[in-house]
Amino acid sequence: MQCVPFKLVSPNSRTYSKAYDRHKIRVSSKQRALNVLLVVGDCVLVGLQPILVYMSKVDGKFNFSPLSVNFLIEAAKVLFAIVMLLFQARHQKVGEKPLLSISTFVQAARNNVLLAVPALLYAINNYLKFIMQLYFNPATVKMLSNLKVLVIAVLLKFIMRRRFSIIQWEALALLLIGISVNQLRSLPEGTSAMGLPVATGAYIYTLIFVTVPSMASVFNEYAMKSQYDTSIYLQNVFLYGYGAIFNFLAILGTVVVKGPSSFNILEGHSKATMLLIFNNAAQGILSSFFFKYADTILKKYSSTVATIFTGIASAALFGHTLTINFMLGISIVFISMHQFFSPLAKVKDEQQNGITELRDVPEKLKYVLSLSLSHTHTHTLTPSGQSVRNSFG
Amino acid sequence: MQCVPFKLVSPNSRTYSKAYDRHKIRVSSKQRALNVLLVVGDCVLVGLQPILVYMSKVDGKFNFSPLSVNFLIEAAKVLFAIVMLLFQARHQKVGEKPLLSISTFVQAARNNVLLAVPALLYAINNYLKFIMQLYFNPATVKMLSNLKVLVIAVLLKFIMRRRFSIIQWEALALLLIGISVNQLRSLPEGTSAMGLPVATGAYIYTLIFVTVPSMASVFNEYAMKSQYDTSIYLQNVFLYGYGAIFNFLAILGTVVVKGPSSFNILEGHSKATMLLIFNNAAQGILSSFFFKYADTILKKYSSTVATIFTGIASAALFGHTLTINFMLGISIVFISMHQFFSPLAKVKDEQQNGITELRDVPEKLKYVLSLSLSHTHTHTLTPSGQSVRNSFG
């Protein structure tokens, strides 16, 4: 499996942390390389997932409790984060704030208490997934969860004050449509847009099912970036520490309700399931890099590209034929991706920035420049140009 | 059935007829209204088509020879064109070149001899349709004919020297994909992208089947616009006159090969089939207005919108449910339409025009303006602005 590098331009965003803004200006040249690295890493980990799932099954099903897996994944993430923190602390330069001092830890913990919010939302989401499968068939759940892309964009607009151009909104709609077209064949025959098998109250579950993970991602991005000066390794320790606590509380709750027989965290695991847990933990750690150094939308595109390459790889390896749905779907996704990250899609925004930066230009010239920068009819340019010559020349 | 008006901006095109260019500048304000009128008319005529087809069938099939229908449609078009020409001639203002004089007719016939090319291509296309149905099933033929959109765009680029932005190329690809998604369900179950039922040699038929009608449309647009000063009513008389001749020759050829028993032009027709023929003739006349006063791409979008509204209307009237395919397909088509006609999609082009029009502006200012107009990083603006102040202020 390979991930071809594609043009990535970091999406435009508004001020919410001065440290993050300083970072943006400093490393904007390195941003593309980092983005490509993140996407390639994501592709590899997501690509390994179905292989590990296949290896983890015994007689076609899992032997372990799904409840325990969530806790073990969170615990593995904390372990990863601590190992990376120790590694980072050993390579600190002289004069940098010590990563492992108690005062640093306490101060960072106080500053990053906001990370408990996404951790709680993620924990809730893990249980929602099970509930949803009682109400919808898996293909419908998949189809509905595509709506997350648009919910995330709306949340980014209001929480992160990010601005999207019309072309970018359309690109996100196309991403949603492209993924749906790819999944069309898996829907039960004869399902119509108006005839989705929705029970009363299922609409509310759908709304919650789509909104909770979207809010988790966006709050995660917000919390990560708003404390930009805190080391990401420390932030990971907090985020996944909270996650492990919430998941452990859920297990304790189950023990109280169902009795101690359900307290079987380590039952039914093999080497393959351990690899599966480690792969999921690595995906989690990687996603926090996405949220801090890139953004939630890039993460979404990355997951989609990973799914596409997994599809192509499995077709190549196991000799499946690629359906027309798949071909049409990935065409839409790639057009969407190109449009979302195209500089053309945010031309208006850049030009507005351009105008605000003309501080040292004479008033008359400013007027001409603003005329030329705005999208008015180009014929108005020549008379303005002439009047400028009359004044200056 | 209703056609909602949508934003139409006439696509940018290069010089190929001075008369056409004069026209473009003169009526650019009326262009939108005309475009909407053309699309609404097209929607009504295309919408009537399936109703008339249903009424024309006796026991589920046509009683008339398909060969004869083509000739009768061409003959009806000539009749329409002559009636409209006479009507136009009666309403001529004093001082205008007389439409009905023999010298006008002969000169126009000489100038518009190029119209024989699209007429011949259309005649060939009528027979290709029958051949294609021997090699492919009707759903596959439909799917393949979607490729015409892209072929037309390529031909417009090379023959009409029209320029499309990347967003516009993507919009055309989306139009093709959107129509295909809508048709997906009608494909036989299990058809895969690699497994289309293509016999050897069918690729060549496909290429011809897609290229001939596309070339017919683009040559038609070229011929219509290159003799812009000739009345469209006269041009129609020539175009469909040639068409009637070519179709009549084909019928004669069939008579020679198969014997006089196949010479049954008027056999099996009813009032409904006559209405069907008149509807088709009216569509033909309307399309020549598209080619002369708008363009081939708008015609394509118009047909697609008409098909969509027919689908919605038939769902509303006959209580069909709208499939997910249909909903996804029309979403893609509407995004495509918005992107193709969006002013944002051709921003680069307008700005390049802007630069060429800065004739009376001092050299230094020209440089600043070109900097601000080009998509370079906006930070370069401030130092340039300062240097301008140093020179002029």
Question: Following DSSP, what letter does each residue of A106-150 receive, concatenated?
Answer: HHHHHHTGGGHHHHHHHHHHHHHHHHHHHHS-HHHHHHHHTTHHH
Under the banding of pLDDT at 50, 70 and 90, the label for residue A378 is very low
User: Residue A144 falls within a domain, yes or no?
Assistant: yes
B95: region left, alpha or beta (phi > 0 left; psi from -120 to 50 alpha): left
> Is the per-residue pLDDT at A13 higher than 50?
no
How far apart CA B381 and CA B177 sit, in angstroms, is: 41
Nearest to A146 by CA among A342, A311, A336: A336
The predicted pLDDT at position A139 comes to: 72
Nearest to B355 by CA among B365, B346, B345: B365
Regarding whether B374 and B282 lie in a shared domain, the answer is no
Residue with tokens 């109703």: B51
Regarding whether B203 and B343 lie in a shared domain, the answer is yes
Range of lowest pLDDT (A250-264, A352-366, B93-107, B240-254): A352-366
How far apart CA A13 and CA A8 sit, in angstroms, is: 15
Regarding whether A364 and A283 lie in a shared domain, the answer is no
Distance of CA A337 to the CA centre of its chain: 14
Residue numbers of the domain that contains A127: 18-357
Regarding whether A376 and A342 lie in a shared domain, the answer is no
Q: Do residues A55 and A272 make contact, with C-beta atoms less than 8 angstroms apart?
A: yes
> Is the per-residue pLDDT at B384 higher than 60?
no
How is residue A319 written in tokens? Answer: 């000799």
User: Are B193 and A324 a contacting pair at CB < 8 A?
Assistant: yes
> Is the per-residue pLDDT at B57 higher than 70?
yes
User: Residue A1 falls within a domain, yes or no?
Assistant: no
Length reported for chain B: 393
Distance of CA A120 to the CA centre of its chain: 17
User: Are B348 and A344 a contacting pair at CB < 8 A?
Assistant: yes
User: Residue A12 falls within a domain, yes or no?
Assistant: no
Under the banding of pLDDT at 50, 70 and 90, the label for residue B46 is confident
Nearest to B219 by CA among B8, B39, B16: B16
The predicted pLDDT at position B337 comes to: 93
Residue numbers in B near A332 (CB within 8 A): 174, 177, 332
Regarding whether A63 and A101 lie in a shared domain, the answer is yes
* Closest CB from B184, B358, B378 relative to A324: B184
> Is the per-residue pLDDT at A189 higher than 70?
no
User: Residue B6 falls within a domain, yes or no?
Assistant: no
Environment class of B230 (CB within 10 Å of its CB; exposed 0-12, middle 13-18, buried 19+): buried
Under the banding of pLDDT at 50, 70 and 90, the label for residue A191 is very low
Give the residue with greater pLDDT, B220 vs B63: B220
* Closest CB from B323, B335, B382 relative to A170: B335
Percent helix, percent strand, percent coil in chain A, to nearest 5: 75, 0, 25
Nearest to A306 by CA among A18, A26, A50, A8: A50
Under the banding of pLDDT at 50, 70 and 90, the label for residue A354 is very low
How is residue A283 written in tokens? Answer: 């995906």
User: Residue B13 falls within a domain, yes or no?
Assistant: no
DSSP state of A163: -
Number of H helices, E strands in chain A: 15, 0
CA atoms within 13 A on the CB side of A120: 6
Range of lowest pLDDT (A241-245, B39-43, B196-200, B260-264): B196-200
Tally of structural domains, chain B: 2
Q: In whole angstroms, how large is the CA radius of gyration of chain B?
A: 25
Nearest to A49 by CA among A230, A314, A229: A314
- Beta strand ranges found along A185-234 (DSSP E): none
> Is the per-residue pLDDT at B388 higher than 50?
no
Locate the chain B residue with the closest alpha carbon to A353: B378
For an interface test with A, the pick among B9, B140, B336, B344 (most A C-beta atoms closer than 10 Å) comes out as B344
H-only helix segments in chain B: 18-56, 66-90, 102-111, 116-135, 138-145, 148-159, 166-183, 202-226, 232-258, 271-293, 296-318, 324-341, 347-356, 363-373, 381-392
* Closest CB from A167, A181, A362 relative to B344: A167
User: Are B324 and A184 a contacting pair at CB < 8 A?
Assistant: yes
User: Residue A7 falls within a domain, yes or no?
Assistant: no
Regarding whether B336 and B205 lie in a shared domain, the answer is yes
Locate the chain B residue with the closest alpha carbon to A193: B324
How far apart CA B361 and CA B367 sit, in angstroms, is: 10
User: Are B344 and A173 a contacting pair at CB < 8 A?
Assistant: no
With H, G, I as helix, E, B as strand and everything else as coil, classify residue B323. Answer: strand
The predicted pLDDT at position A380 comes to: 31
How far apart CA A193 and CA B323 sit, in angstroms, is: 5
How far apart CA B350 and CA A3 sit, in angstroms, is: 36
A319: region left, alpha or beta (phi > 0 left; psi from -120 to 50 alpha): left
The predicted pLDDT at position B199 comes to: 54
User: Are B368 and A369 a contacting pair at CB < 8 A?
Assistant: yes
How far apart CA B333 and CA B307 sit, in angstroms, is: 11
User: Are B347 and A344 a contacting pair at CB < 8 A?
Assistant: yes
How is residue B158 written in tokens? Answer: 């090379």
User: Are B361 and A385 a contacting pair at CB < 8 A?
Assistant: yes
- Would you tell me how many other CB atoms lie within 10 Å of the CB of residue A213? 22
> Is the per-residue pLDDT at B96 higher than 80?
no
One-letter amino acid of A123: A
Regarding whether A367 and A348 lie in a shared domain, the answer is no
User: Residue A2 falls within a domain, yes or no?
Assistant: no
User: Residue A10 falls within a domain, yes or no?
Assistant: no
How far apart CA A65 and CA A266 sit, in angstroms, is: 9
User: Are B173 and A335 a contacting pair at CB < 8 A?
Assistant: yes
Residue numbers in B near A328 (CB within 8 A): 177, 180-181, 184
Regarding whether B187 and B128 lie in a shared domain, the answer is yes
> Is the per-residue pLDDT at B192 higher than 60?
no
* Closest CB from A191, A325, A358 relative to B381: A358
One-letter amino acid of B87: F
> Is the per-residue pLDDT at B172 higher than 90?
yes
For an interface test with A, the pick among B25, B176, B328 (most A C-beta atoms closer than 10 Å) comes out as B328
Q: How many CB pairs (< 8 A) connect A and B?
A: 174
How far apart CA B53 and CA B58 sit, in angstroms, is: 10
Locate the chain B residue with the closest alpha carbon to A343: B375
Regarding whether B257 and B282 lie in a shared domain, the answer is yes
* Closest CB from B194, B322, B332 relative to A193: B322
Under the banding of pLDDT at 50, 70 and 90, the label for residue A67 is low
Residue numbers in A near B360 (CB within 8 A): 382, 385-386, 389
Locate the chain B residue with the closest alpha carbon to A342: B167
Instruction: Please measure the distance between the N-terminal and C-terminal CA atoms of chain A and give it in whole angstroms.
Output: 63
Under the banding of pLDDT at 50, 70 and 90, the label for residue A47 is confident
Under the banding of pLDDT at 50, 70 and 90, the label for residue A297 is very high
The predicted pLDDT at position A357 comes to: 37
> Is the per-residue pLDDT at A194 higher than 90?
no
Regarding whether A186 and A141 lie in a shared domain, the answer is yes
User: Are B324 and A357 a contacting pair at CB < 8 A?
Assistant: no
Q: Do residues A288 and A232 make contact, with C-beta atoms less than 8 angstroms apart?
A: yes
Strand partners, B192: A323
Nearest to B210 by CA among B142, B160, B262, B266: B142
- Would you tell me how many other CB atoms lie within 10 Å of the CB of residue A138? 10
Nearest to A115 by CA among A234, A208, A229: A234
User: Are A321 and B170 a contacting pair at CB < 8 A?
Assistant: no
* Closest CB from B321, B332, B350 relative to A194: B321
User: Are A357 and B379 a contacting pair at CB < 8 A?
Assistant: yes
Regarding whether A369 and A348 lie in a shared domain, the answer is no
Regarding whether A198 and A220 lie in a shared domain, the answer is yes
Q: Do residues A291 and A220 make contact, with C-beta atoms less than 8 angstroms apart?
A: yes
One-letter amino acid of A366: K
* Closest CB from A193, A339, A362 relative to B327: A193
What's the mean pLDDT in A92-106?
77
The predicted pLDDT at position A339 comes to: 92
> Is the per-residue pLDDT at A96 higher than 60?
yes
pLDDT 10s digits, B346-381: 645 444 443 333 333 344 444 433 444 343 333 333
Q: Do residues B338 and A170 make contact, with C-beta atoms less than 8 angstroms apart?
A: yes
State the smallest CA–CA distance between residue A307 and chain B in angstroms: 19
